[in-house]
């Protein structure tokens, strides 16, 4: 593929989008032919096909796989064998995904031209936004982006998260000046691998330019909220720097950050420092974003999937005044698609899959708006019959599917693990709602709770906190089988929006029945099989909520990041399995509550 072909901007990018989506089926078949032609000499394809360029043979013979199946090939390349094991082009980097397989981080192969494909998708975002929010070229974007340090494989291939790869690439660093993509954060601050210094400098730059900022954001909502919490802890220092016109020399030592920030903090600005201080001093931070950045028109961050739980917190900090914009759906394996209706309600977000990103196929999971087949971790080993797969051009509205991709870099019919539902079409390109990741489940007996069900139940229960002026800021779960019968444990971190002077710790604000009622509400909202297990089989014990202290989930994030995760891509695991994670959570428990009664179950 010629990278130049993908260099579209503005109106031209939108015209290309029209063309691609009008010819979805054709684009996909040509792309698959191209992948097979380029990769025909790979050991992987030759293992399954005698004539590796034939689309029909590929469809008949190449199996649907999970990470465990391809891990040996990845490992061999990481150890120094040739890229041609899986790809016709050199594997230039291994992208560290946020997922794990058998406790190990997943490494996804990537080739140089993948950066062109990612850039093509990024270049679509502003032309799409510009159709809905005019004037975005008249100011700046305060987007908090972070990189993670990289480590080489034994053979010297860099391994890094996909976003780190992008920010370090010439596609980002040498981008031509563009009034639609004028960021407050200096590149050196984004590229600083010390996340604390990077965050400090990026927030400082965002505050200095507060009157020019038109949009706020981060990749995921969790990262944006983490920035707000950092600001809550550090605004005094930040204001000091603005007041004196000099960067805190004790904590910000990174030379790149210091050089870049000396350009931002040109001279002392006590007036600006006073303004910001007056805003940050307010008792309640409700609506603070619109006060600090009065011209901001929206917040851009992923708030679909597991990120949906952050919507109330984002709305709290924006006073409900800023639309939450989810622009794209992507992964380390492949970038997938864009949201063509970016101002829609987060619950309505659908992504249009771009047919030139990778070859997409779908494992049907259910019809008529009903998710029939619950995929769980066990199903990963299940062989998916290849004749069951549906092409991108042939998915049906309302149906649920698991996404499977084939890429130039050497993934063939690889299960991404995301469950999607078709909501409609843009031209001939299907649009999908993100439902959940397949492998996040709680199960004690025959019950199986997926992420969406858990989220729905928790959403029902957390409403009970509202009259107490409290907000569930984070949660995760654990299937506790150390007791017989085992039971579901939910770890909840609760934030009080207004502190009462009589408060003595988290628990005292609640009346004694509140959290047991929350337990019960979660159980009532879980599915039929769960309630049968609880009420009839008695194979599941009463659900427990363990309240954890403030900052616990930040600490959990730190733990995951210290083990090699990326701050940009970090998503709170909805189910904790790691011993270290559980130990951390359990060490922060303030109080435990159990469901006081069996949930309703009618045979």
Cβ-based neighbours of 489, under 8 Å, separated by 6 or more? 477, 478, 479, 480, 543, 544, 545, 546
110 binds ligand AMP (CB under 6 A): no
DSSP per-residue string spanning 205-261: HHHHTTTTEEEEEEEEHHHHHHHHHHHHHHHHHHHHHHHHTS--TTT---HHHHHHH
Number of helices and strands in the chain (H, E) = 20, 22
330 binds ligand AMP (CB under 6 A): yes
Question: Are residues 391 and 28 in contact, defined by beta-carbon separation less than 8 angstroms?
Answer: yes
Min CB(308)–ligand AMP separation in Å: 8
Min CB(417)–ligand AMP separation in Å: 6
- For ligand AMP, the closer of residues 520 and 566 by Cβ is 566
206 binds ligand AMP (CB under 6 A): no
- For ligand AMP, the closer of residues 305 and 516 by Cβ is 305
Take residue 177 and report the two structure tokens written for it: 């000046």
Total site size for ligand AMP, rule CB under 6 A? 17
CA–CA dist 142, 496 (Å, integer): 27
Min CB(577)–ligand AMP separation in Å: 17
- For ligand AMP, the closer of residues 234 and 304 by Cβ is 304
> Does residue 103 come out as left (phi exceeding 0), alpha (psi in the -120 to 50 range) or beta?
left
122 binds ligand AMP (CB under 6 A): no
Question: Are residues 302 and 222 in contact, defined by beta-carbon separation less than 8 angstroms?
Answer: no
576 binds ligand AMP (CB under 6 A): no
256 binds ligand AMP (CB under 6 A): no
- Measured CA to CA in angstroms, residue 372 lies from 366, 368, 387, 529 at distances of 5, 10, 19, 14
CB atoms within 10 A of CB 108: 26
411 binds ligand AMP (CB under 6 A): no
Take residue 507 and report the two structure tokens written for it: 């628990």
457 binds ligand AMP (CB under 6 A): no
Question: What is the footprint of ligand AMP within residues 84-103 (CB under 6 A)?
Answer: 97-99
Min CB(107)–ligand AMP separation in Å: 11
- For ligand AMP, the closer of residues 505 and 564 by Cβ is 564
305 binds ligand AMP (CB under 6 A): yes
569 binds ligand AMP (CB under 6 A): yes
- For ligand AMP, the closer of residues 340 and 416 by Cβ is 416
Contacting range for ligand AMP; rule: CB under 6 A; set: 169-177, 262-270, 323-331, 359-367: 323-331
- For ligand AMP, the closer of residues 114 and 523 by Cβ is 114
When binding is defined by CB under 6 A, the residue of 120, 145, 432, 434 that contacts ligand AMP is 434
552 binds ligand AMP (CB under 6 A): no
Under DSSP, the state recorded for 536 is: I
Question: Are residues 256 and 188 in contact, defined by beta-carbon separation less than 8 angstroms?
Answer: yes
Per-residue interface string for the shown chain with ligand AMP, residues 4-33, x marking contact by CB under 6 A: ------------------------------
66 binds ligand AMP (CB under 6 A): no
When binding is defined by CB under 6 A, the residue of 285, 317, 329, 491 that contacts ligand AMP is 329
Min CB(120)–ligand AMP separation in Å: 17
- For ligand AMP, the closer of residues 342 and 516 by Cβ is 342
CA–CA dist 32, 49 (Å, integer): 15
Min CB(391)–ligand AMP separation in Å: 20
Take residue 363 and report the two structure tokens written for it: 């494992």
When binding is defined by CB under 6 A, the residue of 119, 234, 332, 521 that contacts ligand AMP is 332
Find the DSSP H helices in 294-408. Answer: 311-318
Contacting range for ligand AMP; rule: CB under 6 A; set: 16-24, 186-194, 299-307, 572-580: 299-307
418 binds ligand AMP (CB under 6 A): yes
Cβ-based neighbours of 233, under 8 Å, separated by 6 or more? none
363 binds ligand AMP (CB under 6 A): no
Single out the residue of 306, 346, 349 nearest to residue 322, CA to CA: 346
Q: What is the dihedral of CA 111, 98, 399, 368, to 10 degrees?
A: 180
- At what angle are helices 552-562 and 221-244 packed, to 10 degrees? 100
Question: What is the footprint of ligand AMP within residues 155-194 (CB under 6 A)?
Answer: 162
Min CB(103)–ligand AMP separation in Å: 16
CA–CA dist 327, 325 (Å, integer): 6
352 binds ligand AMP (CB under 6 A): no
Peptide bond into 485 cis (omega under 30): yes
- For ligand AMP, the closer of residues 123 and 188 by Cβ is 123
Single out the residue of 235, 247, 327, 248 nearest to residue 288, CA to CA: 235
Question: Are residues 78 and 107 in contact, defined by beta-carbon separation less than 8 angstroms?
Answer: yes
Contact residues for ligand AMP, defined by CB under 6 A = 97-99, 162, 302, 304-305, 326, 329-332, 416, 418, 434, 437, 569
């Amino acid at each position: 593929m010629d990278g130049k072909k993908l260099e579209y901007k503005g109106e031209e990018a939108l015209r290309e989008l029209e063309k691609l989506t009008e010819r979805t089926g054709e684009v996909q078949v040509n792309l698959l032919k191209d992948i097979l032609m380029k990769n025909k000499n790979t050991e992987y394809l030759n293992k399954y096909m005698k004539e590796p360029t034939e689309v029909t043979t590929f469809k008949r013979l190449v199996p649907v796989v999970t990470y465990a199946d391809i891990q040996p090939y990845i490992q061999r390349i990481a150890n120094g064998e040739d890229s041609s094991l899986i790809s016709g082009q050199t594997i230039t980097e291994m992208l560290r995904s946020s997922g794990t397989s058998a406790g190990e981080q997943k490494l996804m192969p990537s080739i140089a031209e993948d950066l062109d494909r990612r850039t093509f998708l990024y270049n679509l975002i502003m032309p799409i936004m510009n159709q809905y929010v005019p004037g975005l070229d008249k100011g700046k974007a305060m987007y908090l982006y972070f990189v993670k340090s990289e480590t080489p494989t034994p053979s010297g291939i860099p391994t890094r998260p996909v976003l780190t790869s992008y920010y370090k690439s010439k596609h980002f660093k040498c981008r031509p000046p563009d009034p639609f993509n004028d960021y407050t954060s200096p590149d050196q601050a984004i590229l600083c691998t010390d996340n604390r210094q990077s965050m400090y400098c990026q927030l400082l730059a965002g505050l200095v330019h507060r009157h020019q900022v038109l949009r706020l954001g981060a990749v995921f909502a969790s990262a944006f909220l983490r920035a707000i919490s950092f600001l809550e802890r550090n605004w005094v220092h930040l204001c000091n720097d603005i007041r004196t016109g000099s960067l805190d020399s004790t904590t910000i030592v990174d030379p790149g950050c210091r050089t870049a920030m000396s350009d931002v903090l040109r001279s002392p600005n006590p007036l600006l420092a006073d303004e910001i201080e007056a805003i940050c001093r307010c008792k309640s931070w409700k609506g603070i974003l619109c006060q600090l950045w009065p011209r901001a028109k929206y917040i851009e961050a992923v708030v679909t999937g597991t990120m949906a739980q952050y919507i109330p917190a984002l709305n709290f900090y924006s006073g409900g005044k800023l639309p939450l914009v989810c622009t794209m759906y992507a992964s380390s394996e492949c970038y997938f698609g864009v949201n063509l209706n970016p101002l829609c309600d987060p619950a309505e977000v659908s992504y249009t899959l771009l047919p030139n990103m990778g070859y997409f196929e779908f494992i049907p999971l259910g019809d008529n708006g009903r998710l029939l087949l619950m995929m769980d971790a066990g199903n990963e080993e299940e062989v998916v019959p290849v004749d069951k797969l549906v092409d991108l051009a042939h998915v049906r509205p309302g149906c649920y599917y698991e996404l499977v991709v084939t890429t130039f870099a050497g993934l063939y019919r690889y299960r991404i693990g995301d469950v999607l539902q078709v909501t409609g079409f843009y031209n001939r390109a299907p649009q999908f709602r993100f439902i959940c990741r397949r492998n996040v489940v709680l199960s004690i007996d025959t019950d199986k709770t997926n992420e969406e069900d858990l989220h729905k139940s928790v959403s029902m229960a957390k409403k009970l906190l509202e009259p107490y002026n409290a907000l569930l800021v984070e949660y995760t779960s654990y299937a506790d089988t150390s007791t017989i019968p085992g039971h579901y444990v939910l770890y909840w971190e609760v934030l009080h929006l207004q502190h009462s002077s009589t408060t003595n710790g988290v628990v005292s604000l609640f009346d004694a029945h509140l959290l047991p009622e929350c337990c019960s509400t979660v159980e009532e909202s879980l599915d039929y099989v769960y309630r049968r297990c609880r009420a009839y089989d008695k194979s599941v014990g009463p659900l427990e909520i363990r309240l954890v202290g403030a900052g616990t989930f930040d600490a959990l994030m730190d733990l995951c990041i210290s083990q090699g995760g990326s701050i940009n891509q970090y998503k709170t695991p909805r189910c904790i399995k790691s011993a270290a994670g559980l130990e951390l959570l359990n060490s922060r428990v303030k109080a435990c509550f159990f469901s006081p009664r069996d949930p309703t179950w009618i045979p």
